[in-house]
A and B are shown apart, each in its own frame.
Chain A
Amino acid sequence: MKNPISRKVEYYKTLDAKDKRSFWIDGLLNNAIYIILVIFLIYTATQNSRLLSWAALANLINLVAANLPMALGIGGCIILTGTDLSAGRIVGLSAGLSAALLQGASAANKYFEGLGEPGLAMVVLVLLVAMVVGGIVGLANGFFVARFQLHPFIVTLATQLIVYGGCLIFYNSNGNNGQPISGLSQVFRSFVTGSILPPIFGQTIPNYVLYAIVVFILMWFIWNKTTFGKNMFAVGSNPEAANVSGVNVFMTTTLVHTLAGITYGYAGFIEAARISSNVSNTGQNYESDAIAACVIGGVSFVGGTGTVGGVLLGVVLLRVIYVCLTYLAVDQNMQYIIKGAIILLACSIDMRKYLARK
């Protein structure tokens, strides 16, 4: 049983000169993002050696764990050849709600003044509430897309605005007047950012990293081992053929968006404790990072393809690049330009691969 590398070497030897050249060109272009990543890493490490510390690695793992669930949710929408622009605002609303319900008893500007100090049961309950709230918005998204054949872009654009408005109203109600919601309870904070595990190499691993691993495994199972997952890929590839084969396209589409909404709700719950002070603007533009991560990780915009491992890879790659930019102290405004350029790059590579498929 030959391993893939020796098989590839043998294949390479059979190519003539012209094909050999295109082999190298294709290899370079299709892996341009990995090449950029390596260049970034090497350069940043030479400029700021703190990049190569256990602390930096732990920080990277934490960032990946915070961004992975959302990317997995949005990945499902992209596999359906759609998108979800409301993701960030759902995270923001969910974060605000979770924070307001789980403030400490003695918090200044307590949102729900009648609530006492929450216990662990309340924390778990609020997590479920956050996921339900996200799921409801996702359900609305999926319903409008599936029932009325509306473009996911326009549906989620609309729900993005509606959710943002709701979030603003929430932050202005109950005497809060737009102030940040902070002073979170100790139980909530230790549930999310506390650490069950002992420190590894001197770094503490917050609990939300463990939760992210659970979410990852769950999504892997859903995407690969359930009929729903197979249906999702089928509908994304070819809705007509899927329909003819007996797949309920309506239910699949609706459920994919609902599942995405649930992941956003969960992400908001985690985010509330992670950033510890939530404002109405929390979550703005989070979806752009999530979508970029998916595209980089091989979830093609043509639909029908993608793996959870790819999404994870995309999130890691994107985060490493961002971390490098931080350690290089690159101007914050320039970071926007670089992020946008990387998204364009990922899409161009994706398109080029699509055209080249025989």
Chain B
Amino acid sequence: MTNDSKQTRPEDRPSGRRYGLFGVSAYPQKSSLDEKQRSSMSRALSIVIVLIAAAVILLMLFSQSSPGLTVTFDTMGGSEVSSQSIPYGGTIEPPGETVRPGYVLEGWSIAPEGEALWDFEHDTVTDTLTLYAVWSPQ
């Protein structure tokens, strides 16, 4: 057997196949389709390919259920800070400026009592959460 046996040309195949993928000849026999039928089928396929490709891309773009996990910032009396949407496993961007007269911002913590401060560089988000501002008097 030479290497050619790996890829016989379709027109060399016999006109009757025993079975195709679903027990019937999965592909129309080349000899049974004339040039006109072949080109119209090819054109229909081209349209189908474009339609399916477009559908897949649109589905991807518009079917995200949860673009990220919501992180809200409770400023505990300071000025408002907008919440963020962080993808799973991501880190939180240090939030915008917040001011509270007479107090200095120590940092943000996952608990209102303010024990451990959130490490914005290393801590990752795995669920929706609220960060509470930790203030210390001036």
Residues of A that sit less than 8 Å from B by CB: 25, 29, 32, 35-36, 39-40, 43, 47-48, 50, 81-83, 149, 151-154, 227, 230-231, 233-234, 237-242, 245, 247, 301-302, 304-305, 324-325, 327-331, 334, 337-338, 341-342, 344-345, 348-349, 351-352, 354-357
B126 within 8 A of A: no
Q: Among B8, B45, B65, B68, point to the contact of A238 (Cβ < 8 A).
A: B8
Asked whether A238 and B1 contact (CB < 8 A) given A50-B89, A356-B42, the answer is: no
What 6 A-B pairs have minimum CB-CB distances, sorted nearest first? A151-B23, A237-B8, A331-B65, A352-B45, A334-B63, A233-B6
Interface residues of B in 20-62 (CB under 8 A from A): 20-23, 26-27, 33, 38, 41-42, 45-46, 48-50, 52-53, 55-57, 59-61
**B21 and A81 contacting across the interface, CB-CB below 8 Å:** yes
Q: Which residues of A contact B122 (CB under 8 A)?
A: none
B17 within 8 A of A: yes
Q: Among A153, A304, A348, point to the contact of B23 (Cβ < 8 A).
A: A153
Question: What is the distance, in angstroms, from A337's C-beta to the closest C-beta of chain B?
Answer: 7
5 contacts between A and B (CB under 8 A): A81-B17, A83-B21, A153-B23, A345-B53, A348-B45
**B53 and A351 contacting across the interface, CB-CB below 8 Å:** no
In the bound complex, how far is the Cα of B55 from the Cα of A291, in angstroms? 21
Asked whether A82 and B63 contact (CB < 8 A) given A36-B56, A329-B88, A341-B56, the answer is: no
Question: What is the distance, in angstroms, from B50's C-beta to the closest C-beta of chain A?
Answer: 7
**A152 and B19 contacting across the interface, CB-CB below 8 Å:** yes
Q: Which residues of A contact B64 (CB under 8 A)?
A: 47, 328-331
**A153 and B22 contacting across the interface, CB-CB below 8 Å:** yes
Q: Among A239, A242, A348, point to the contact of B48 (Cβ < 8 A).
A: A348
**A355 and B41 contacting across the interface, CB-CB below 8 Å:** yes
Q: Among A230, A238, A331, A338, point to the contact of B56 (Cβ < 8 A).
A: A338
In the bound complex, how far is the Cα of B48 from the Cα of A304, in angstroms? 25
In the bound complex, how far is the Cα of B9 from the Cα of A156, in angstroms? 28
In the bound complex, how far is the Cα of B102 from the Cα of A281, in angstroms? 62
**B12 and A238 contacting across the interface, CB-CB below 8 Å:** yes
Q: Which residues of B contact A345 (CB under 8 A)?
A: 49, 52-53, 56
Main secondary structure of the interface of A (DSSP, over half): helix
Q: Which residues of A contact B8 (CB under 8 A)?
A: 237-238, 241, 304
Closest to B90 in A: A50
Residues of B that sit less than 8 Å from A by CB: 1, 5-10, 12-14, 17-23, 26-27, 33, 38, 41-42, 45-46, 48-50, 52-53, 55-57, 59-61, 63-68, 87-90
In the bound complex, how far is the Cα of B65 from the Cα of A352, in angstroms? 35
In the bound complex, how far is the Cα of B53 from the Cα of A342, in angstroms? 8
Asked whether A32 and B53 contact (CB < 8 A) given A43-B60, A352-B42, the answer is: yes
In the bound complex, how far is the Cα of B13 from the Cα of A239, in angstroms? 9
Closest to B17 in A: A81
In the bound complex, how far is the Cα of B20 from the Cα of A304, in angstroms? 12
**A355 and B63 contacting across the interface, CB-CB below 8 Å:** no
Q: Which residues of B contact A247 (CB under 8 A)?
A: 1
Q: Which residues of B contact A240 (CB under 8 A)?
A: 14
Asked whether A329 and B60 contact (CB < 8 A) given A82-B21, A355-B38, the answer is: no
In the bound complex, how far is the Cα of B8 from the Cα of A354, in angstroms? 12
Q: Which residues of B contact A50 (CB under 8 A)?
A: 87, 89-90
In the bound complex, how far is the Cα of B10 from the Cα of A351, in angstroms? 12
**A330 and B53 contacting across the interface, CB-CB below 8 Å:** no
Closest to B19 in A: A151
In the bound complex, how far is the Cα of B40 from the Cα of A121, in angstroms? 61
Question: What is the distance, in angstroms, from A76's C-beta to the closest C-beta of chain B?
Answer: 13
